[in-house]
Structures are given as C-alpha cells and as structure tokens.
Structure 1
Amino acid sequence: MIPERRNADAFAIQTMTGLCVIWGIQQVAVKLAAPDIAPIMQAFGRNLIAAVLLGLWMCWRGGWEGLRQGTLKGGAVAGVLCAAEFFFIAQGLVYTSASHMAVFLYTAPIFSALALHFLLPSERLRRLQWLGIAVCFGGILLCFGGGFDLAGMDSRMLLGDFFGVLAGLSWGMTTVAVRTTRLSEAPPSLTLFYQMFVAALLLPLAAMVLGKTHEVSFTAIGVGSVLFQGVVVSFFSYFCWFWLLRRYLASNLAVFSFMTPMFGIAFGVLILGEPLSLNFVGGAVLVLAGITLVSSEQWIRRKLRR
C-alpha cells in the first residue's frame, strides 16, 4: 500500500539536497574524464551499467509485468529520445562548459509543459506558467546574445550551448512520451530500463559514426567517472528520487530539484575553473526563474494565498 503523500520534511529536504549535489556534479565528471574517455563513450558505459543493474533489480524485486501491458512501443520511443538526450549532452560538452550544460539541460520542463499543454487537457498551462516560459526563453536569448565572437572559440561554445538546449528538448519529449503512452502506468523501474537499454544500444552506433570508439583510456579518472554516472547517478539517485515521489508531494520536491543547476555551476567553477560571463549569469537566473514558475505554479499559488 502506497502511503499518503505529504509535504516535504527535514529528511526530504536533506535527501533532495544530496540528490541535487549528485545530479549537479555529473556534467563536471564527464568533462573531467573527457581527455581519457570520449563523452559519448562515457554515456554508453553509463547507460549499459545502469541497464544491467536495473535488469537485475527487476529480476529480484519484479517489474517485468509491464511488458505485458503494451509498453514496448512507448518504451522504444522513450529510449530513442533518451539516447538523443545523452548524444546532445556528450557532443555539447565537447564545445561548452559543464556549468552551461547544467543550466540548458534543465530547460526540459519548459518543453514538456508546452507539448503536454496541446496533448492533454489536464495539462493546460496557466497564466503564471506562460509567464515562466517567456522568462525562460528570455534567459536563453540573453545567454546566447552576449557578444559571441563567431570566428573564434566562442562560436564553439555557442554550438555546445545549442546542443544543451537540444538535450533539454529531448529530455522534455521523453517526459511527454512517458505521460502519453502506456508507460504512464508502468513501474518506474521498467520505464528507466527502456531508456537506459535503448540508449546503450544506440550510442555505440553514434560513436562509430563520429569515430570516437577508439578514444577510450582506462585511467582511474575515466573509469571512476563512468562508474559514478552508471551506479550512483543513473541507478541509485533515480531510485531515491522515485522513492521520494511515492511519499512526498511532487510539487514540493520539484522546487528543491532546481538547486541542481546551481550546484552544476558551482562545481564547474570550483573543480574545472570554468569562467562565468555576466550575460550567462543573468540568463541562467532568468532560465531557473522561468522553470520554477512553470513546474511549481501550484505550490507558488498556495504560498501566495497564505
């Protein structure tokens, strides 16, 4: 029996903070290990490890029954979109910084909210959410409009940032695929397995096309990064997230999840020494403010009434 969902307490806040730290540092881990293992090969290893662990978990605890509920088609679509997300993250990190990727990746709720507005009557956007979308896209334009030198390195960063937005779009469309197919009734472990398994199948093909399969050196940093992403991020942290969603109100948890880009920026600056421009800082603030308005609209309205 699923317990009644409640407001976030001290335990939920502490757990969410820990999860946001893990999610925030993952792009830094990819960037740190990029000289040893190409980012797209790291994405392949990460998804392969997570798929194996998820498969073993479901053999032990169950979850395969969703296969008999017509979830295969939706799972394939979600898996392809997940592979696209990791492809754009990997390629984006070749050109842009981890801190930029941490912000642009989290535009995903904006894209999913826009798509679901037209697909599901129950997901119609309210005025405050439309304001959030406008603020978010204004922030993206500010990030992109900071005087890039298109003839130099900044044009490469611009391309990487664009890949980051495409990664956010792919993640958002994955959410739409889950919400609008039989996956919405499937166990979370099966939904995750579809995504990780299909991504593990497709990413090596993309790596071969790009000629990146040979860019693998089994150093401590490279292997540690892939293990961290596969075991800690894709397996452990996602299960913790779903465990929290079954016990606490999703709107409460969503508010705290927006700490992730902040941690991503902080780790990028502290660990990798990444520079921050004023236009990016201002744009990032607008992006995060817009995402908060869209994803936490009901929570904000309740707070304003009080």
Structure 2
Amino acid sequence: MNERKAIDGKAFGLMAFLCMIWGFQQIAIKAVAYDIAPVLQISLRSGIAAVLVALLMVCRREPLALKDGTWAPGLLIGALFALEFLFLGEGMRYTTASHMAVFLYTAPFFAAIGLHWRLPEEKLSAAQWVGIGIAFVGIIVAFFGPDAHAATKDAPNILLGDFLGLLAGASWGSTTVVIRCTRLSNTSVTKTLLYQLIAAFILLLIAAVVLGQTAIHSTPLAWGSVLFQAIVVSFFTFLAWFWLLHKYLASRLGVFSFMTPLFGIVFGVWLLDEPLDPSFLIGAGCVAMGIVLVSGHDWLRRMVRDAAKA
C-alpha cells in the first residue's frame, strides 16, 4: 500500500482550486436558471459526465459488469445522489447561490454522525462533537436571524430554499455513509461515480418532466454553464479529488473543504449581486469552523502536540 503524504504546497494549491470550482457550481446553476431549470441542468450535466466516466473506464479497461454484487448499494447511492440534487435544484429556485453553497456543505456533519453510529473506527471525538455543535448553532442563526430572510426577485422564499439546501446536505452525507458501509467501499471510485451519475440523469429527468421544468431557452451562456458543470465539476474535479486522496492523507485534505462555502459566498455576492446579511455571515462562519473541527480534528491535534513539543 502506498503511504499517504502530509499536505504540501501542491496539494494545498490544488485543494484551493477545487474548492473554488465547487463554490462556483451554485453560481453556474443560478446564473442560467431562467434559461434551463436547475433540476434539468443537473440531469443533463449528469448524463454528459456519465458518458465521460464510462469512456474513461473503457480506456482503463475497468469492468462495467454488475457481477461484483454492488448493484443494490449502487442503486441506493444513485437514488440518494439524485435526491441531493433534486433538493439542490429546487432550493436554487427559492434561495441565493451563496446560501445554497453553505447549507449543501453541511454534508460532512451528517456523514460524521451516521458513520459514528455505524462504524466503530469512525467514533467522533469530543472536539468533533464540539464542531457539530458550533455548526448547529450557525445553522440556527442563519435560518432564524432577524435579517436572514428578506425576499428578493431571485430568492422569493429563502427559508424554504435554505431548508432544501440542508436536506441536500443530509442526502449527500447519507451517500457517504452508504458507500463506507457497503461493498462500494472496495469498489473503484469510477464505478461508484457512474452509479450516481446514471441515476441522477434518469431520475432528475423524470422529475423535470413531472414538475413541468423541461423548457429550454437555448443560449450560449446556458449551454456553456451545463458543459462547465459536466466536464469541469462532475468529471475533472472528481478525478483530481481522488488523485489527491490517493497521494495525501484524507483527514488533512478534508479540513480544507471549509473554503468551498466561503468561495460560494464571495462568488454569489460578486457575480450575482446577492445580498449579504449579518445573520447569514455569522452562521456561515460557524459552519466553516465546524467543518474544520469535524474534518480536521486529527490534523489540529497533531499541530497542538507538535507546538507543545517545540
């Protein structure tokens, strides 16, 4: 087994770049929501990305057959993945992209709690429970602060949209738990992603039809956004992320995910002129602090120990 390395400058730079792209994802969806409904956007991008992942597997001569017994958990994570993006797509109709970027990235907390109950080696430390508590307080402040839900044209019901974003984060966290607790934990990451992308394409396309959200106003910006989401977000960043996991310590990579919602806030305010209220800022800061404590507790503990020895 290859020994994972500690974080170096290359890893930090690539993680910052990935977090910037992930933070920009919601802005790309919101910017063309009037041309292509968010749910339909995500269905189309998932279909394109699924083709790219399948081609990659063929080039690598990875098996596509279902004889390895992963089809049942594969269907489950596919359904959860589709549910995550159904909540995200619908939530984007009611709230701002910056709000969605924060609430979607509550996923590590739901995953950590689920794994705590399912796997002995994933038991949460006291510091991680503190991080979850801080994030919970942040969510309450962001939801119910006195100036948190002033409706605008592009965000007509922020409370509903934020709640759907929280459900999207819970669905994403549940996907992580299923992957870790089933045969998928020993399956190639490309096959796992393919299950998710195919299910998202089919189920979200059905949802778009049922919800009457199949209209497309064909513009260069709209199709550019969909292609960006498919090729860059759903394909390239996935490959880069798993390359990092192969080379570096996962616990130390995870701590940097707090940058994603922060990038989402910056892009939302800068590019979409979204309002920025104090309640949401305080809540987002608590969520980011919670991510650092939950995902990076081992890294932080080593830092404190090394500082004490110095």
Q: TM-score, normalised by structure 1?
A: 0.96
CA shift, 1:147, in A, is: 2.6
Task: Single out whichever of 7-16 and 180-189 deviates more from structure 2.
Answer: 7-16
Query: 1:198 matched to which residue of 2?
Result: 199
CA distance in 2, matches of 1:199, 1:36: 20
Counterpart mapping for 1:169-248 below 5 A: 169-214=170-215, 216-248=216-248
2:281 is equivalent to residue 275 of structure 1: no
Percent same amino acid at aligned positions?
A: 52
Aligned to 2:92, the other structure's residue is in SS state: helix
| Distance of 2:72 and 2:125 partners within structure 1 | 31
What letter matches 1:207 in structure 2? A
Query: Cα deviation per residue 1:254-273 (whole Å; 9 max; x = unaligned)?
Result: 12222111111100011001
Aligned residue in 2 for 1:168: 169
Match of 1:61 in 2: 60
Partner amino acid for 1:146? G
Question: Secondary structure of 1:64's match?
Answer: coil
Quote the residue 2:93 is aligned against.
94
**1:171–1:94 CA distance, 2 compared to 1 (3 A):** same
Would you say 1:297 and 2:297 are equivalent positions?
yes
CA–CA distance in structure 1, aligned partners of residues 35 and 149 of structure 2: 29
C-alpha offsets along residues 2-45 of structure 1, whole Å, 9 cap, x if unaligned? 63210111111111111111111110000001111111110111
Q: Is 2:84–2:172's contact at 8 Å kept on the other side of the alignment? A: yes
Asked if 2 retains the 8 angstrom alpha-carbon contact of 1:149 and 1:155, the reply is no
Helix, strand or coil at the partner of 2:117: helix
Q: Does the 8 Å contact 2:80/2:172 carry over to 1? A: yes
List per-residue Cα deviations over 1:225-246 (Å, max 9, x = no partner): 1000000010011100000100
CA, structure 1 residues 151+132, in 2 after alignment: closer, same or farther (shift >3 Å)?
closer
Q: Is the 8 A contact 1:78 1:178 kept in 2?
A: yes
Q: Deviation at 1:152?
A: 5.9
- 1:129-185: CA deviations, max 9, x gaps? 111111111100000111369896687100000000000000000101100110000
Distance 1:256 1:134 in 2: 19
Q: Which residue number corresponds to residue 286 of structure 1?
A: 286
Q: What amino acid does structure 1 have at the position aligned with 2:135?
A: C
> SS in structure 1 opposite 2:174?
helix
Q: 1:226 to 1:302 in 2, by over 3 A?
A: same
The one-letter amino acid of 1:141's match is: I
3-state SS, counterpart of residue 66 of structure 2: helix
Q: Which is worse superposed, 68-77 or 270-279?
A: 68-77
Report the alpha carbon displacement of residue 64 of structure 1 after superposing the two structures with TM: 2.2
The amino acid of 1:120's aligned partner reads L
Please list every run of 5 or more consecutive structure 2 residues that lacks an aligned counterpart in the other structure.
Answer: none
- Partner of 1:123 in structure 2? 122
- Deviation readout 1:61-101 (Å, 9 max, x if unpaired): 13326733211111100000000011011011101000000
Matches of 2:105 and 2:148 in 1, distance apart?
26
Answer yes or no: is the 8 Å Cα contact 1:66–1:186 preserved in 2: no
> CA separation of 1:210/1:148 partners in 2, compared to 1, >3 Å: closer, same or farther?
farther
5 Å-filtered alignment, 1:15-30, equals 15-30=14-29
Structure 1 stretches of 4+ with a deviation exceeding 3 A read 148-155
Contact map agreement 1:7 1:252 (CA 8 A) in 2: yes
Matched residues, number: 304
Matched, 1:136 2:138: no
Partners of 2:122 and 2:24 in 1: CA distance: 32
C-alpha separation in 2, matches of 1:208 and 1:137: 35
Q: Which residue of 2 aligns with 1:249?
A: 249
- The SS at the match of 1:246 is helix
Q: How does 1:19-58 map to 2 (within 5 A)?
A: 19-58=18-57
Alpha-carbon distance in structure 2 between the residues aligned to 1:295 and 1:83: 25
1:83 aligns with 2:82: yes
Structure 2 residue identity aligned to 1:203: L
Contact 1:66 / 1:187 at 8 angstroms: preserved in 2? Answer: no
Q: Give the counterpart letter for 2:259 in structure 1.
A: M
Assess, with a 3 A threshold, how the Cα gap between structure 1 residues 166 and 305 changes in structure 2: closer, same or farther.
same
**Is the 2:95–2:156 Cα contact (8 Å) retained in structure 1?**
no
Q: Secondary structure at the match of 2:248?
A: coil
Bigger shift: residues 54-63 or 89-98: 54-63
TM-score (norm 2): 0.95
Measure, in 2, the Cα distance between the counterparts of 1:249 and 1:117: 20
Aligned equivalents of 1:257 and 1:172: distance in 2?
Answer: 14
Alpha-carbon distance between aligned partners in 2 of 1:44 and 1:150, rounded to the nearest angstrom: 29
